[in-house]
Amino acid sequence: MTVDPVVLAAFVPAALALNLTPGADMMLCLGQGMRGGPRAAIAASAGVSTGAIVNVGLAGLGLGALIVSLPGLFHAIKAVGVVYLLWLAWKTWHTPMGRPDLPPVRPARAFRDGFVVNVSNPKVILFILAFIPQFVDPARGQVLAQFLIFGAVIALGGFIVNGLVGSFAGGLGRALARDPRVDLWLRRASASVFCALALKLALEVRR
């Protein structure tokens, strides 16, 4: 077996604790759920998890070390994430949820948003490089396969947790968005979430 079952059993609760810790991914799914309802929240969570698997693959292939050795690339990828988050905030602020002439947020777009925000955060790769290798056994071989298995556990747990959080927010948001005042508050709250994420990432770029 590629991964020792005992090690995998020890990894699962550690990954679950990580999934339950509020962070950028959870905030993103919360914001998407408030904007587009449960379907958008679940799609965003799927995008985040897909991005996590991509980052795990990159880390397993050693590209994390490349990013560490090239600070310019590290900051460039972060800058892309900042710009994208600010674009999401602007669009959310100026797009009323309650207008009947506007189409609902498409799950495909929510998926893309979750994927791009996760992949454009090099900190995810660096965290993976610090966390997963503690459970990888080079003596068993197939290091990349081990990375992917552990990454899949994290991605699956994150998909479930973030999807539930976003779905609850989405259902509540849809029910309340009929009131124009609540609609405005929800849009501002969602936009503020994206701005907070952008500010956090921008501060990391400055460091």
Instruction: Give the domain extent around 88.
Output: 24-206
- The total of structural domains in the chain comes to 1
> In the block, which residue shows the tokens 């799914």?
29
pLDDT value of position 47: 95
Task: Determine the 3-state secondary structure of 96 from DSSP.
Answer: coil
pLDDT value of position 100: 45
- pLDDT interval class at 101 (50, 70, 90): very low
Q: What is the DSSP letter of 115?
A: H
- Say if 13 falls within a structural domain: no
Amino acid at site 81: G
Amino acid at site 198: A
pLDDT value of position 14: 79
pLDDT tens for residues 42-58?
999 999 999 999 988 88
- pLDDT interval class at 204 (50, 70, 90): low
What integer best gives the mean pLDDT of the chain? 78
132, 151 Cβ separation under 8 angstroms: yes
- Say if 1 falls within a structural domain: no
Range from 29-33, 51-55, 106-110, 138-142 carrying the lowest mean pLDDT: 138-142
- Say if 85 falls within a structural domain: yes
Provide Rg for the chain, Cα atoms.
Answer: 18
- Say if 10 falls within a structural domain: no
196 pLDDT more than 60: yes
- Say if 65 falls within a structural domain: yes
- Say if 8 falls within a structural domain: no
